[in-house]
Each structure stands twice: as structure tokens, then as C-alpha cells.
Amino acid sequence: MTTRGVNYGIIAGVDEVALTLLRLLADDAPAAELAAAADRIAVEDPAARDLALRIRSGMDASKRRAAELSALVDVARELASSRDPGRVFDTIVHRARTLVGTDVAYLTLYDPEHGDTFMRATDGSVSAAFQQLRLPLGAGLGGLVAETHKPYWTADYPGDRRFRHTSTIDDAVGEEGLVAICGTPLIVDSSFVGVLFASNRTRRPFSRDEVSLLGSLAALAAVTLVQVRAATETADALAQLSEAHAGVEHAAAAHDRFADIVLSGGDVDAIAAALAELLGVWVVLVDAGGNELASAGTPDRRGLDRLPALTNGRLNRVGDHWAITATAKGESLGALVIGGVDELPPADRRIVERAAVVTALVLLFRRQAAEQSRQAQADVLADALGGTADPAAVADRARLLGHDLPERMVVAVCHGDSGARLPAPVEGRLVLSGRYDGESVLLLDLPSATKAAAEMADLARRTGMTIGVTGPAAWGAELVAAHRQAARLVGTMIRLGRTGQAAAPDDLGLAGLVGADSVDVAAHVTHVLGPLLAYDERRGTDLVTTLAAYFAASQSPTRAAAVLHVHPNTVQQRLDRITALLGERWQHPDRALDLQVALRLRATL
């Protein structure tokens, strides 16, 4: 007996058995021929037989997956070439029926107005009642798919009690004669579009591979449906703009330009520049808070800070300008303001409205990316401040987020509304940010806590935030300690009634020293007495000694003059100079205490 040139009668041993099977596999022998040959030589080597059949099964599965992938590519090509929604629906259900190999395939679309799904296309259906069926959310297999956005399948729908049966649905399914049904949702960007079904008129289980295949087709179909709808909307808009050939070409060029910007990863700056170039106007894009995000041309910004609330998604005349909101998911993300022209033709108005739609999408993508980045930063920050993770590993994760980590960083803990935009000098030196222990925490590449506090003072005053700043500290245990100190500093500021301020430990004087893990005494003395020390060094005076004598004399200029062996008027003149250098409140009890402590510390150095 020979098969493909192999004579089983002369097989001499196990090696030749294995060689025979390998030759059959190499020649891509059909599974039936391989199984027959394997059965004949099983006596020689049963393990080789089983292994050969497993390899053949794997090869068949790979071929099947390759065929399915090729079919999906063909479907994608066919769908991409169609701009007729009706034809797209028919193509989807026909391909679903042929790919999965069922008697009937059909597609329902979600109707947000009625809150149900309705039959849109069928292939292989013979029942008029079935073709007009509507499925309430949660009713039947399709209604459950629509409600949960998850695939469901059954080999015997009439007898399957997992689904809420209704007489309307069961009658239509019965008239069509369907028994086995598989349904999978059509979803794009978390938005439910409809349900794609494959069904048989006889009892038939669905394999997970078939469910997965139908799901892949549904995903492809959902994207295509959205694209076709968008293309249809664009075509309708362009048709309404003008019948003139020049207007149509202008609008088509604008649409292609915006599409290229989005597909190439362009940002709102590119959209504003393209719109300004296409229409010969100036463009300003502001966010929902009125902050400018992008501009092009030579804008006239007068009145841009007083834009009215626009919610209709249409271009409106606002004074000398034109304005339109960029809205996504019912939320206004910003507004495009157009100027430099007295009138905009209908074609140009539609181009601006299309630009607003594209801008909203880009802003939405930007916000989603920012939210993901903020979450990633918050996770790294939590590990860095928690003190339990390996500092080197945490630093590596921070670098993967695109941050160049300085050797030492300032820590700022912000109590209160942290949604305000950071001052430019602070934002430009931001290393990491996030929420930790209920407060907003910033790590800043700044040389000192005092400088950081000064940069953030206006932000604290405008927002009412209380900001405690410490450091700089090195990555690791020192950073953890600096954060604890900053958190304590915020608590101290609140207890002292210094809310709505930004401060470093030295700014709180004695109270700041008490809350610190460690104190640089010389730096603290310089911070408190710095203006007097610098003046004495420049002028050769001794205001610091005069101040010490004044406090030692119970703040009596006369007694201080006696100790210093000068006239009381001289002491008063020096005190006036001290007031000019330290400010009017230096004799307030709290400030006076800080000065006296600094003088005592200086005396001990």
C-alpha cells in the first residue's frame, strides 16, 4: 500500500513512521488521507500518529484563520468602496451569513428616540413580519445584546430561558423559523450603534471562533457605518452650500485638509492655520474657560474675553466676529472665533462648522490623552511619596512618561480648588503632579522652596488655595520626608489663618521651624534677616545690632540708645531704615517673635 509515494509495507521502524507522517504533512496531504495513513501505522508508533494529527489540526486552524482574515480584508475593501448606506447594510449582513455559514443574517440599528432597535437589513429572510421587527432593550436575545453591549448566542432560542421572551418577538422568530441565534453589538468609541446577527433554522451550537469572527465583522461594520454617516453628512452639507463647481471643490479641499490633519496627528494649531488659509481670515480658538489655545492670522482680540455662551453648534455673528462652539458628547470644549471679513458665504460657513466638529474631536482626544497621562503621573507620584516602592524603579517609570528627572525637586502640597492653571514659570518646571492623600501635589524643578512659593503666591490668592512648599529634596526617602513636611506646613498655615497663601517653612518663621524634620539654621537666619544683613554689608552699618539691642531693651529706643552709646534720635533713624527694609509689620507680635528667634540663632552660629 502506498500513499504519495510512501510504501507502508517497507516501513522498517519508528523513524520511518515519523518520516512518513512528516512527508505527508510537508505535502499538505488532506486530513482524511493523513488520518488513514496514521491509522495504518499506529501500531508502529501511536505517539507519532497522535502528534501528526495534532499538527494537521493546527495547520487546518491556521488556514481557517488565514481564510477568515482574508475574508475580513475583502469585506473591509468592499465596505470602504461603498458610500451608499443601504448598500453597506446589505453587504454587512450578506458577508456575515456567508462567513459564519448560517441560514439567515440580519442587522438592527439603535433608535435613540424610541429607545429600541429596529430591523435595517436581512439576508436569507423570508418573513415580512420578521423583517419589520423592533426589539425593545432587554427583550429577546437581540434586546439583551443592545442593553448590555455584550454578545450572546444560543443553540435553541425558543427553549432558552436566559432571555426575556415576548409574544411579538417569539411570533416573528417562529414565522422565520429561526432556532439558533448569535448576536454581537456594533460599538464605536463606546457608542452603541446596533446589533449584527447570524442564525440558523435548525439547532446549531456556535463555537467561540464563530462568535469572535462575527464580532470582528461587527466591529468593522460599526466603524464603516459611522464613516458612511459622516461622509453622508458631509456630502449633504456640501450639496447645500452651493451648486457652483468652485464652491464644491473648495469645500472638498477643506474636508480633505482637515481629515489629513487629524489622520497625521495634527493639533488644534494646525486646524486654526488651515482654516485661516482656506478662508483668508484670522482664527482664535479658546477653551471652555476662555483661555486661548491656538491662533492664526492677525487676530483682533478685542471682546474675545466677553464671548456669549453658544450652544447650537452653528456659526453665529458676535459683534465684528463670527463664533461657533466646538462640542463633543453634548459638552462645549471651546469656541472658534473668526474675523477679518465682513461676510462669510454659505459655503465658507459650512467649512467653519466642519472645522468646529474636527476641532472638538481633537480637543476630546487631547483631553482623553491628558487624563490618561495625569492618571499615570498620579500612580508614579503615589509610589514615590508612599515610600514603599523601589525609588530607582519609580524614577524609571517617571522617565518612561517623558520626564527628565532633576537630582532635587521642590514639593508643593495644594489644599483647595486645584483646577486652576499654573503660572507659566511653574508649569514650565513641572516634573510630576497628581493627587495624594486627598491633596494636589506638585514636584517642581526649582532651586528653592522660597522661590516656588513666591511664584505661586498669586495663584493661591486668586483661587483661595493654601500651598505649602518644601525642598528641594532628592528622589527617595528625602522626597517622602519633604512631602510630609509640606503637608504639615499646609496644616500649620490653616491653623494660623494663612489660607489663600503660598509659603515655604522659612516664610512662617518659628511656626515653620517647628514643623520641619530638619532645619538649615544659617539659611533660615538669612531668609529672615537677609535685607538687614545685605544692607549692613553694602553700607558698613550695623542695623542687625541695633535691632537686637532694641528688642533687648523691651522695644524702647531710649534704653537701646543707652546700651549702644548713641543718641535716641540715631536709634529712631535706624529703626525707620529697618521698617523700610522689612516692611511696616515687622513689629507685629508674630513677626517680632520671628525676628528675635533669628537674632538668637545668629548669635549662636
Query: Residue 313: its pLDDT value, please?
Result: 63
Q: How confident is the model at residue 248 (pLDDT cuts 50, 70, 90)?
A: low
CA distance 271 to 273: 5
Tell me: pLDDT of 408 over 80. Answer: yes
Q: Rounded CA gap, 57 and 51, in Å? A: 10
Q: Is the pLDDT of residue 544 over 90?
A: no
Per-residue pLDDT, averaged over 546-566, amounts to: 78
Output 345 or 573, whichever has higher pLDDT: 573
pLDDT for residue 153 is more than 90 = yes
Side by side, the strands of the sheet bearing 502-503 are: 430-436, 439-444, 408-415, 466-474, 502-503
Contact 217, 321 (CB under 8 A): no
For 165-198, what is each residue's pLDDT tens digit? 999 999 999 999 999 999 999 887 777 888 999 9
Q: How far apart are CA 195 and CA 152, in angstroms?
A: 11
- Mean pLDDT (whole number) for 580-603: 74
The domain ranges of the chain are 2-71, 84-231, 242-361, 387-517, 522-604
Sign of the four-CA dihedral 479, 483, 489, 490: positive
- Triad 368, 374, 375: Cα angle to 5°: 90
- Residue 576 has phi, psi (to 5 degrees) of -65, -40
**pLDDT band (50, 70, 90) for residue 46:** low
Cα separation, 37 vs 148, whole angstroms: 50
Highest mean pLDDT: which range of 28-32, 475-479, 493-497: 475-479
The DSSP secondary structure of 191-218, one letter per residue, reads EEEEEEEEEESS-----HHHHHHHHHHH
User: What is the arithmetic mean of pLDDT over 571-598?
Assistant: 77
What pLDDT shows up at residue 509?
61
Q: Say what the pLDDT of residue 90 is.
A: 85
DSSP H or E stretch at residue 522? helix 521-539
Range with the poorest average pLDDT among 4-13, 136-145, 518-527: 4-13
pLDDT greater than 70 at residue 79 = no
- Topology match between the domains 84-231 and 242-361: yes
pLDDT more than 70, % of the chain: 68
Strands 408-415 and 439-444: antiparallel
Phi, psi angles (nearest 5°) of residue 499: -70, 160
* pLDDT-based confidence at residue 304 (cuts at 50, 70, 90): low
In CATH terms, 242-361 corresponds, of 3.40.50.12780, 3.30.450.40, 3.40.50.2300, 1.10.760.10, to 3.30.450.40
At 241, is the pLDDT very low, low, confident or very high (cuts 50, 70, 90)?
Answer: very low
The arrangement of secondary structure in 84-231, i.e. its CATH architecture, is 2-Layer Sandwich (3.30)
Q: Which residue pairs from 234-237 have beta carbons closer than 8 angstroms and sit at least 24 positions apart in sequence? A: 234/354, 235/83, 237/350, 237/353, 237/354
Give me the helices (H) in 288-419, please. Answer: 346-386, 391-400
pLDDT at 598: 73
The percentage of residues in the chain with a pLDDT greater than 90, rounded to a whole number, is: 11
Q: Exposed, middle or buried: residue 256 (CB in 10 Å: 0-12, 13-18, 19+)?
A: exposed
Report which of residues 313 and 247 the model is more confident about: 313
8 has a pLDDT exceeding 50:
no
Task: Report which listed range, 264-278, 353-367, 472-486, 520-534, is most confident.
Answer: 472-486
Check residue 553 and give its pLDDT. Answer: 77
3-state SS assignment for residue 280? coil
Q: Mean pLDDT check: name the lowest of 13-27, 129-143, 338-352, 467-481.
A: 13-27
Spell out where 355-514 has E strands.
408-415, 430-436, 439-444, 466-474, 502-503
Residue predicted with more confidence, 161 or 85: 161
Give the tens place of pLDDT for each residue, 94-134. 888 888 889 999 999 889 888 899 998 899 999 999 999 99
**Residue 8: is it exposed, middle or buried by C-beta count within 10 angstroms (0-12/13-18/19+)?**
middle
Using only C-alpha atoms, what is the Rg of the chain? 38
**Helix, strand, coil percentages for the chain (3-state, nearest 5):** 55, 20, 25
Q: Tell me, what's the pLDDT at 7?
A: 46
Mean pLDDT throughout 46-52?
61
- 276 pLDDT more than 60: yes
The helix (run of H) or strand (run of E) holding residue 104 is strand 104-111
| 3-state SS class at 94 | helix
Grid coordinates of 289: 474657560
Phi, psi of 111 (to 5 degrees): -110, 100
State which H helix or E strand residue 123 sits in: strand 116-123
Q: φ and ψ at 328, to 5 degrees?
A: -140, 130
> Measured between alpha carbons, how far is 422 from 430 in angstroms, rounded to an integer?
9
Q: What pTM does this model have? A: 0.35
Q: List the single range of 35-39, 113-117, 500-504 with lowest mean pLDDT.
A: 35-39
Per-residue pLDDT reduced to its tens digit, 511-538: 555 555 555 566 666 666 777 778 878 8
Give the model's pLDDT for residue 12.
43
Query: Residue 439: beta bridge partners?
Result: 436
What pLDDT does 242 receive?
Answer: 42
Element (H, E) at 157: none
Per-residue pLDDT reduced to its tens digit, 417-441: 766 677 777 777 777 777 888 788 8
User: Which pLDDT score, from 0 to 100, does residue 517 have?
Assistant: 53
The mean predicted confidence, pLDDT, of the chain is 75
